[in-house]
Amino acid sequence: MASQSQVLVEVKSSVRILTLNRPKQLNALCFNMISRLLQLFLAYEKDPSVKLVILKGQGRAFCAGGDVPPVVNNIVQGKWRLGADFFRDQYTLNYVMATYSKPQVSILNGIVMGAGAGVSIHGRFRIATENTVFAMPETALGLFPDVGASYFLSRLPGYFGEYVGLTGARLDGAEMLACGLATHFVLSSSLDALEADLCKVGTSDPSFVSTILDAYTHHPYLKQKSAYYRLDVIDRCFSRRTVEEIISALEREATQEPDDWILTTIRALKKSSPSSLKISLRSIREGRLQGVGQCLIREYRMVCHVMKGDLSKDLVEGCRAILIDKDRNPKWKPKRLEDMKDNMVDQYFERVEEEERWEDLKLSPRNNLRASKIAAKL
């Protein structure tokens, strides 16, 4: 079966090592991989002989996101419901990981974007390295930071989550550690030794895993130009009520003190889909007050509206411009932020009205709803 070659399983005593194995596609998650991961995680949770699950990626990426082109292809053919099945399974997997009763260690040695964040950030332990590149680039594609991102981004210090989610800014491993997206930083040269030590764990007590990880942890310095040093500016600007006000605040900052970082941030916002920016901001704001399950249920409604395309066809256009034709010149509709009215934003958060049967995401009750471990600074 393809899913078995795309998710490799190693049995090491009481530890299971799962390796995402589509290196040419930067381990982008396809439907088969998501189904396989969900099946394995549920089976390991019930199996008393399994104490720890390690998740990593083959090649230079942990996971660069979801395999979006097939979903877009289905939308173009009028089969958006197939995409809905893909996202339903993916969000269910995110929820299982967020409420998992056994420790999950995700080794983020390389690219971690979009869906890759979904299968790692919800887990208890997230290991960044000097090779890690993290981003939620959805607004440039006509989508929004999903996979429970409205939960974990909204729990980052200050308004850093709004900044990361709206701009698609890339973070390195040191920045992930600083803001709480990663729990540990380990040099890539030490990963084999770390893995070998983790495989000796004979208990599901996370404090034992923590002790091993702490022994390998480095405390990296943030680069001089890190966005994390600009938290004061980020908080001043990204705390504003609307996307228009955020951009105006950034432009005011730029006139007071010329800064390449601010200009880059403004450019990123102005290039993104106006509808995506507006629903993303509202999603993260709502996420601050919701549990992870509520966030995923709401995001599922939103993504179904995006795929159905009645409100906007920006996802198809964004994927055409960025992933297919690669002209990087999407024609967004609506074109301007001010044309994306509040009542249009509201519709993304309502139930999908369909003649055929459509249901909200159903998440089974779980025993292990632990408090968020995102953002060590909170």
Structure confidence by residue, pLDDT tens digits, 43-67: 999 999 999 999 999 999 999 999 9
pLDDT at 373 over 90: no
Q: Residue 263: what pLDDT?
A: 96
Q: Residue 218: what pLDDT?
A: 94
Question: Starting at the edge strand that comes first in sequence, how are the strands of the sheet with 111-113 ordered?
Answer: 61-63, 111-113, 133-135, 171-172
Q: Residue 372: what pLDDT?
A: 52
Residue 3's contacts (CB-CB under 8 Å, 6 or more residues apart) are 32, 33, 35, 36
Q: How far apart are CA 46 and CA 58, in angstroms?
A: 27
pLDDT at 361 over 80: yes
pLDDT at 125 over 70: yes
Residue 21's contacts (CB-CB under 8 Å, 6 or more residues apart) are 5, 6, 7, 8, 27, 58
- What integer is the mean pLDDT of 92-118? 97
Q: Residue 370: what pLDDT?
A: 61
Structural tokens at position 361? 């995401």
Mutual orientation of helices 292-308 and 274-287 as an angle, nearest 10°?
A: 160
pLDDT at 378 over 50: no
Could you tell me which of 84, 85, 182, 88 has the C-alpha nearest to residue 133? Answer: 182
pLDDT at 108 over 80: yes
pLDDT at 1 over 70: no
Q: Residue 325: what pLDDT?
A: 87
- Least-confidence region, from 94-98, 156-160, 372-376: 372-376
Q: Could you tell me the pTM of the whole model?
A: 0.95
CA distance readout (Å), 109 to 36, 134, 192, 210:
22, 10, 12, 18
371 band by pLDDT with thresholds 50, 70 and 90? low
Q: What is the pLDDT of residues 332-351, one digit of tens each?
A: 999 999 999 999 999 999 99
Cα torsion at 193, 198, 201, 204 (round to 10°)? Answer: 170
**SS3 at position 192:** helix
Q: Residue 377: what pLDDT?
A: 32
The strand pairing partners of 15, in sequence order, are: 12, 52
Q: Residue 365: what pLDDT?
A: 85
- What integer is the mean pLDDT of 163-188? 98
- Least-confidence region, from 9-23, 139-153, 265-279, 355-369: 355-369
Q: Residue 358: what pLDDT?
A: 85
Q: What is the CA radius of gyration of the chain?
A: 20
pLDDT at 10 over 60: yes
Q: Residue 376: what pLDDT?
A: 36
- What integer is the mean pLDDT of 221-231? 95
- Least-confidence region, from 26-40, 85-99, 136-150, 312-326: 312-326
- What integer is the mean pLDDT of 117-125? 97
Per the prediction, the chain carries an average pLDDT of 94
Q: Residue 172: what pLDDT?
A: 98
Structural tokens at position 231? 């938290």
The strand pairing partners of 11, in sequence order, are: 16
